[in-house]
Amino acid sequence: MATVAIAPDVQTHPTATAVTLALKMAPIATYLACELVNSDGFVANFVACVLALAVDFWWCKNVSGRLLVGLRYWNEIDDAGESRWRFEARDDEGMARVSANEKRLFWTTLYGGAIAWAALLVGAIASFELNYALIPLVALCLAMTNLVGYFKCSKDAQSQLNGFARRQVASALFSGVGSSAS
């Protein structure tokens, strides 16, 4: 009798997906609307935008990365005061449960957000709105931090998978060599 491997159930997170989209759009909408709503108060506009950016950064780093793509990263400082970045990915079984649509949305919003903020930064500089160029600059720093962190997580996951595959191939080769020599 042949056995059939059953694919693991794909886990979807519709609430996390909706919140991720909303939190990616909120800082951009706040930035674009701040001059219309409060044209006299740069400080209030700056604070509103940075708060929206901070919430988006926190959500992306601590919630959506873990739920939507199975990746997370963090920074630890050891007793000697050395800063070490840690990168973590789900195992193969856990990664098989990640929804392809949610994964695509996560990476699209991560790259798209960075591109949008870069364009807004160029626009602010080109129009000589140097005060307002600070907001996309802060946003771009936060977006790039998440982008680099998740890229390294993804790269680390790939290297772990490649290392596992190499060990399996080496094990198979050496066990084959040992059995053929006897």
Query: Considering the entire predicted model, what is its pTM?
Result: 0.75
Quick check: is 2 in a domain?
no
Residues in the chain: 182
Question: Mean pLDDT, the chain, as a whole number?
Answer: 82
Structural domain total, the chain: 1
User: Does residue 9 form part of some domain?
Assistant: no
Domain-embedded: residue 37:
yes
Q: What percent of the chain has pLDDT over 70?
A: 80
Whether 26 is covered by a domain: the verdict is yes
Residue 80 has pLDDT above 80, yes or no: yes
φ and ψ at residue 41, rounded to 5 degrees? -115, 85
Is 180 a member of any domain?
A: no
Does residue 38 sit within a domain? yes
Q: Which domain holds residue 153?
A: 14-170
More confidently predicted of 70 and 2? 70
pLDDT, residue 57, reads: 94
Which pLDDT score is estimated for 38? Answer: 72
